[in-house]
Each structure stands twice: as C-alpha cells, then as structure tokens.
Amino acid sequence: MSSRSFDNVKDMLVSVRNTNTATDKMTAYDTWAENYDQDVAILGYKAFSLAAKMVSSHFSGNREAAVVLDVACGTGLLAEHMMQCGFHKFVGVDGSKLMLEEAKKKGQYQELKQCIIGEQQLPVSKDSFDVVVICGSLSIDHVPVCVVKELCSACKPGGLVFMTCRHGQDNMEYKESLERELKEMEEKGLWSCVEASEKKHWARGVVESEQNYISGSMYLYQKK
C-alpha cells in the first residue's frame, strides 16, 4: 500500500513545473522517478490509456513489426498501454537518467536514449518510425512547440504522430500556439489530421486556478 498522498504528489508536480532550467527539471524528475508510477495513479492521469486507444484505433499496419518512438517516455507507462494494444517495439527518449533507468527495468524498450528534448536534437534518424508519440510533455513548462517538427521528421511517410496537451489556465496560450503550429504544418503538406479531440477528467488539478479535474487534448496526424 502506497504511503503517498495527493498533497505529496501535488507538491512534487508543482515543484517540477516551477523549475527554471531544463537541467533543474531533469534533476527534479530524477528525484521523482522512483515514485512516478504510483503518483500518476494518484493524480488520476488518463492520458496514457487514452493515447494507446487512439493510436490503436487508427493504426492499420502490422503492430508486432511496427517501431514506436516514445518521446519524453519517462518510466514507460505509455509503452505499457501500447503493448496491451499489440505494439511490441519501442525506442524511448527522455532527459532524466533515472526515469530511463526505471523504464529499462520494465524490459519494454529495444533502445533508450537520453536527450533534453527541445534543447538537444532528437537522437533519431529521419523517416524511421511507424508511430511517434509524445504524451504529457507538450506544455508551457516542459517542451517547446517547435519540437513537433522533429516528431514529424522522425516519422515514416504514412506513419502516425500522436501528441497531447493539458488544459489549465496556465497552459491555454501554449495550447493555442501548438494548434497554430499543427495547422501550419498541415497547410504546408507535411501531414494531415486524423483525429483531434478533447477529454474531460484528464487529471486532477494541482493549482488553485484549476478545478478538481482539468481536461486535455489529443492530436493524431498522419505524415505525408
């Protein structure tokens, strides 16, 4: 039985969001790594299961052969849910060394790479992956909007790119900027939107300006 309370988790998440530099943020995630999985459950965070279901519902290829790039993979929670949908090959990228160590313990990834996303180029080849996913890190306090171009670049033509963005008062301007970027890339013919949807009860709110639960958005694009 976990001894962690919602207040413990809230304080941890707020401290991560409030870090001033990427290096400090990775240090905070290193501190969080051991408790991360149980804390996500306490937050009622539904993005990983929703992500796996959306990708699975639109993927028509051979799932056992498909290679998935899991960007900001953390401890590997999204890969766990995608494995339940029949995917088996994963390459994970994250900035936190200890998060990657937790992911390695689960044995889901063929390869894990450390990279501070948004400050360093993704350490992957162009046009290499059948599916590219980033779940939970496209936000004002984590990964810059420009990273979506790297996600698209890493995906094979005809492959899928999945992204999420949390709501909450502090992140709405970022969400608008992200959606402008996604639309501009579509207008340039880089990809087409397969599905975009908003989900209520995304996760429990952790700041006073948020209600008991915040909502979130999911975006699925197919590369041209």
User: Is residue 130 situated within a structural domain?
Assistant: yes
- CA–CA dist 69, 66 (Å, integer): 10
- CA–CA dist 118, 25 (Å, integer): 13
pLDDT in 10s for each residue of the chain, 224 residues: 457 899 999 999 989 989 989 999 999 999 999 999 999 999 999 999 999 999 999 999 999 999 999 999 999 999 999 999 999 999 999 999 999 999 999 999 999 999 999 999 999 999 999 999 999 999 998 999 999 999 999 999 999 999 999 998 889 999 999 999 999 999 999 999 999 999 998 999 887 767 689 999 999 999 99
- Max Cα–Cα distance, the chain, nearest Å: 51
User: Is residue 16 situated within a structural domain?
Assistant: yes
User: Is residue 110 situated within a structural domain?
Assistant: yes
User: Is residue 39 situated within a structural domain?
Assistant: yes
User: Is residue 1 situated within a structural domain?
Assistant: no
Using N-to-C axis directions, what is the helix angle for 47-58 and 77-84, rounded to 10°? 40
User: Is residue 41 situated within a structural domain?
Assistant: yes
Residue 195's identity, in one-letter code, is E
Going by C-alpha positions, the residue among 193, 127, 130, 173 that lies closest to residue 154 is 127
User: Is residue 186 situated within a structural domain?
Assistant: yes
CB count in 10 Å sphere of residue 140: 19
User: How much is the pTM?
Assistant: 0.96
Provide the domain count of the chain.
1
User: Is residue 153 situated within a structural domain?
Assistant: yes
Please give the pLDDT value at position 1: 45
Q: Which domain, by its residues, includes 163?
A: 6-223
Please give the pLDDT value at position 211: 67
**Which CATH number fits the domain that encloses residue 187?**
3.40.50.150
